[in-house]
A and B are shown apart, each in its own frame.
Chain A
Amino acid sequence: MTFSAFLFQALNGLSTASGLFFIAVGLSLIFGVSRIINIAHGSLYMLGTYIAYTFATHIDGGLGYWGGIVATALIVGVLGALIEIVLLRRIYRAPELFQLLATFALVLVINDATLWLWGPEDLLGPRAPGLRGAIEVFGRQLPSYDLFLIFIGPLVLILLHFALARTRFGRLVRAATQDREMVGALGVNQAVLFTSVFALGALLAGLGGALQVAREPANLATDLVAIGDAFVVVVVGGMGSISGAYLAAVIIAEVKALCIGIGVVDFGFVTVNFSKFTLVAEFLVMAAVLIARPYGLLGKPQAAVRSIAEPEEPIRPATPMLKTLAVIVLALLMCLPLLAQSSPYLLILGIDVLIAVIFATSLHFIMGPGGMHSFGHAAYFGLGAYGAALLVKWLGAPMGIALLVAPLAALAGALLFGWFAVRLSGVYLAMLTLAFAQIVWAAVFQWEGFTGGSNGVIGVWPPPPFDKSWVFFVLTLLLAIAAVLLLRRLLFAPFGYAMRAGRDSVLRAEAIGIDVKRVHWLAFAIAGGICGVAGGLFAFAKGSISPETISVGRSIDGLVMVLLGGIQTLTGPIVGASLYALLQDTVMRQTEYWRALLGIIILVLVLAFPQGIVGAAAHLFGKRRAP
């Protein structure tokens, strides 16, 4: 690559950086003030592109395009305010991460609403009136619209900076970012502050999306892609830091542009196509930054968030009633194979549910008692699934060996990633785990020769007698029981107690000789290993796997299952996983718009049971028993 080509790529990177900045800065502001991780932020960005498209194609000329962009930003801002008032305001007092569940439900609803309104095709807007041309830079044509984007990012950065530094609103935002309880105690109307910050963040996301209308087609997959990028930018820049968001946006965009610019390089012994590393690159940058600077480039250590969730009850051995219930459920499950003839689908569904139970229980193990909110549990599911499938594909290994290797592969991955992850906490830990999952995903996706790339691995069928679905069901059931009982046993043993001790008070745990990082690292690895069992079973149950197995969507599914069941109870993940897997299946067969329906169901559950289903049941039961 020549030097001028290099500079040209750098300019390209700067115009991309502006788009990243718009979405990341809103996410960062909202998190800073309300501590909500708004997963639906990517959806607001996507809506921005669609709405701007409608304006630009229905109203001619500059008014439709430029006026449309301004109108879009305002509309999305108002939508943001509505979301905050109608939904989020009701659950600020719910346990941590419950808001996350609600915003995830919004992602589903908004995605289907967009599908319904605009249809499934990609929509490319017109070119910007007044900026249709290109100018020559370094001997190449740079669209003048890109040049405009390069400048609008820093312009908004400066405007925001002054707004935060000079206005009363800005001072409140900065104060709330540091200590929102204090701001509340000083008599500031928090409801208005939260709503306006959410609206501002949404407006910026809408603006960012709208500005993309001439560059990239509006696409229904934008929401999760955008939120993934935005997370990386926010975490690299430092939560709550506006300048950090811009700095990080530039770094990420430049690294990506550089990868594309370098292209294929022949090292003599091996040829590397760097343009394939764009996906891995941004997450590698993030992992590196988090390890070197745990609070991001310009972030400050977060003030301890005082827990507003109800404190957890001490764990008790299962009551006779719970034991009876478990036996009845297991007896019913054992009877399922009898229905193999009449309704074979029931067994397949049963296998799905059981795999989900193993997946969710292993995630709960580190999320609940460990206090480590992993956003990338799919990595270990994927390592298990691919570990088993690749062993069958390349070495023709029998199923028994493959199912043994699955947890080992996941365990190895969890040991490696966990070592870094346990050095962080809270949202930074969540983001690092997400980054690791994305790295695994990208590696699988782009290493075509070994993993089959986007086609995945096919023909991973179980040998007889396990090819009969009832036999495989029984195998899955036995492994699920073993996994659940093992994790439960660990929680009642000294190791599980030490894990909770480290979560309850690091200070006290260290002061009685417990190496909290080491205990949590080991717990992370154990959870990863058990999750690998689920992955291995999944590969054989489906007969094929694809990178989809490791996608962000699966990690989020796990979070939803755990939170739905109730994070503070040991039976919660089992109920949550079963319910979610069944819901997903039923709802998917009901309507084309199953995502929206699922989202609405989750929203209703969140509003009705802010402690999760089992938490709510225990609460109700406890109340009734009390004199």
Chain B
Amino acid sequence: MSVLEVRALSKAFGGVRAVNDVAFVVEPGEFLAMIGPNGAGKSTCFNMINGQLAPDSGEILLEGKNIAGLAPRAIWRLGVGRTFQVAATFGSMTVVENVQMALLSHAGEIYRFWRPVAQMHRVRALDLLGQVGMQDAADRPSRELAYGDVKRIELAIALANEPRLLLMDEPTAGMAPRERNELIALVKRLVVERGVSVLFTEHSMDVVFAYADRIIVLARGRVIADGNAAAIRDNAKVREVYFGTGKTFAGAAS
């Protein structure tokens, strides 16, 4: 069974059909990129899958169960981790405490009133931080970190509930090219190790074409292409929405 199957998903804002009859699947272990020009409906699509927005119509099946319209926290409980376009962490906590929060929530221990957090799940949290290369920063306030490091922390948080699907909204937005490649390589390695499926949106084409197993292209709310890097590169419709006609991705991908 597919990890995620989206069927006939639609959402309109006023008269604008931001997402129009979109359908696609994410297979187990797949690293799937969703691309498209600004205003193509990527974020709207994403926000419906993660529960931030309720769709007007259509189904979102997570391992066969319809999750359309559920609250973000309910979707998280079903095994969907996520990172944000603008990284969000708990600024008044240390790095390791940020990860501990996710572990506490996963263990159903939020409503515990007595035992101090300090040692709860700390070992596991440090282990997760180790996997993203941030163990040394464990006891620093998370608000002091550089942006690229915050993105790594978010990844550690997102992996805390052993997700089967990871949603990453522009994981490399605001990062320098080298940082960008390092982060995506790290994500790719972790998901391969753990067998997690990833759906991510991305603006930097070098990242997409170098790492994605498959690419979905959205334009004006519809899926216009779905295939591997080579197929997308050669797709006439894709070239048209990105460049008008005549140019190719050859330059961007090199």
Contact A508–B90 (Cβ < 8 Å): yes
Q: How many whole Å from B97's CB to the nearest CB in chain A?
A: 7
Question: Which one, A262-270, A306-314, A419-427, A582-590, is touching chain B?
Answer: A306-314
Give every chain A residue within 8 A of B116 (Cβ-Cβ): 317, 489, 492-493
Interface bracket on B: 35 or more
Question: Which one, A389-397, A510-518, A530-538, is touching chain B?
Answer: A510-518
Contact A313–B141 (Cβ < 8 Å): yes
Question: Which one, B99-107, B126-134, B170-178, B196-204, is touching chain A?
Answer: B99-107
A477 within 8 A of B: no
Contact A511–B113 (Cβ < 8 Å): no
Give every chain A residue within 8 A of B118 (Cβ-Cβ): 317, 492
Contact B89–A508 (Cβ < 8 Å): yes
Q: How many whole Å from A483's CB to the nearest CB in chain B?
A: 14
Contact indicator per residue, chain B 78-108, by CB within 8 Å of chain A (1) or not (0):
0000101000111111100100111011100
Contact B91–A504 (Cβ < 8 Å): yes
Across the interface, B93 reaches (CB within 8 A) one of A490, A492, A501, A519, namely: A501
Contact B92–A514 (Cβ < 8 Å): no
Q: How many whole Å from A407's CB to the nearest CB in chain B?
A: 16
Interface of B is mostly: loop
Q: How many whole Å from B125's CB to the nearest CB in chain A?
A: 13
A139 within 8 A of B: no
Give every chain B residue within 8 A of A503 (Cβ-Cβ): 92
Give every chain B residue within 8 A of A494 (Cβ-Cβ): 104, 109-113, 115, 117, 120
Across the interface, A500 reaches (CB within 8 A) one of B72, B93, B111, namely: B93
A6 within 8 A of B: no
**A515 vs B94: C-alpha distance in the bound complex, in angstroms?**
21
Across the interface, A511 reaches (CB within 8 A) one of B50, B111, B112, B141, namely: B50
B20 within 8 A of A: no
Across the interface, B157 reaches (CB within 8 A) one of A495, A497, A504, A512, namely: A512
Contact indicator per residue, chain A 205-244, by CB within 8 Å of chain B (1) or not (0):
0000000000000000000000000000000000000000
Evaluate whether A314 and B106 lie within 8 angstroms (CB atoms) in the complex, with A493-B115, A495-B113 already known.
Answer: no
Of chain A, the residue at the smallest CB distance from B101 is A501
Give every chain A residue within 8 A of B141 (Cβ-Cβ): 311, 313-314
A188 within 8 A of B: no
A505 within 8 A of B: yes
Give every chain A residue within 8 A of B10 (Cβ-Cβ): none
**A37 vs B116: C-alpha distance in the bound complex, in angstroms?**
37
B161 within 8 A of A: yes
B4 within 8 A of A: no
B73 within 8 A of A: yes
A131 within 8 A of B: no
Contact A513–B161 (Cβ < 8 Å): yes
| B153-198 interface (Cβ within 8 A of A) | 157, 160-161
**A312 vs B102: C-alpha distance in the bound complex, in angstroms?**
20
Contact B73–A514 (Cβ < 8 Å): yes
Contact B93–A504 (Cβ < 8 Å): yes
Number of interface residues of A (CB under 8 A): 31
**A500 vs B104: C-alpha distance in the bound complex, in angstroms?**
14
**A313 vs B112: C-alpha distance in the bound complex, in angstroms?**
23
Contact A314–B92 (Cβ < 8 Å): yes
A334 within 8 A of B: no
**A501 vs B117: C-alpha distance in the bound complex, in angstroms?**
13
| B125-154 interface (Cβ within 8 A of A) | 141, 143
**A507 vs B83: C-alpha distance in the bound complex, in angstroms?**
10
A498 within 8 A of B: yes
**A504 vs B98: C-alpha distance in the bound complex, in angstroms?**
11
Q: How many whole Å from B4's CB to the nearest CB in chain A?
A: 17
Q: How many whole Å from A315's CB to the nearest CB in chain B?
A: 8
Residue from B92, B97, B100, B101 having most chain A Cβ neighbours under 10 A: B92
Q: How many whole Å from A28's CB to the nearest CB in chain B?
A: 29
Evaluate whether A512 and B160 lie within 8 angstroms (CB atoms) in the complex, with A501-B93, A505-B88, A507-B84 already known.
Answer: yes
Across the interface, A512 reaches (CB within 8 A) one of B91, B101, B112, namely: B101
Of chain A, the residue at the smallest CB distance from B83 is A511
Evaluate whether A508 and B76 lie within 8 angstroms (CB atoms) in the complex, with A313-B92, A494-B117, A514-B105 already known.
Answer: no
Give every chain A residue within 8 A of B93 (Cβ-Cβ): 314, 497, 500-501, 504
Across the interface, A492 reaches (CB within 8 A) one of B71, B76, B100, B117, namely: B117
Of chain B, the residue at the smallest CB distance from A522 is B111
Give every chain A residue within 8 A of B104 (Cβ-Cβ): 494, 497-498
Of chain A, the residue at the smallest CB distance from B89 is A508
Evaluate whether A498 and B91 lie within 8 angstroms (CB atoms) in the complex, with A511-B73, A511-B76, A515-B73 already known.
Answer: no
Give every chain A residue within 8 A of B73 (Cβ-Cβ): 510-515
B114 within 8 A of A: yes
Contact B97–A513 (Cβ < 8 Å): no
| B39-73 interface (Cβ within 8 A of A) | 50, 71-73
Of chain B, the residue at the smallest CB distance from A503 is B92
Of chain B, the residue at the smallest CB distance from A307 is B91
Q: How many whole Å from A398's CB to the nearest CB in chain B?
A: 29
Q: How many whole Å from A476's CB to the nearest CB in chain B?
A: 24
| A67-113 interface (Cβ within 8 A of B) | none
Q: How many whole Å from A493's CB to the nearest CB in chain B?
A: 5
Give every chain A residue within 8 A of B82 (Cβ-Cβ): 511
29 residue pairs from A and B, CB less than 8 Å apart:
A313-B92, A314-B92, A315-B92, A317-B116, A489-B113, A489-B114, A489-B116, A492-B117, A493-B115, A494-B115, A497-B100, A497-B101, A498-B105, A500-B90, A507-B88, A508-B84, A508-B89, A508-B90, A511-B72, A511-B73, A512-B73, A512-B101, A512-B105, A512-B106, A512-B157, A513-B77, A513-B106, A514-B110, A515-B73
By Cβ-Cβ distance, the 4 closest A-B pairs, closest first, are A508-B88, A504-B90, A312-B92, A513-B105
- Known contacts A311-B92, A512-B161; 17 additional CB pairs below 8 A are A314-B94, A314-B141, A315-B92, A489-B113, A489-B114, A494-B110, A494-B111, A497-B101, A497-B117, A498-B104, A501-B90, A505-B91, A510-B71, A510-B73, A511-B76, A512-B105, A512-B157
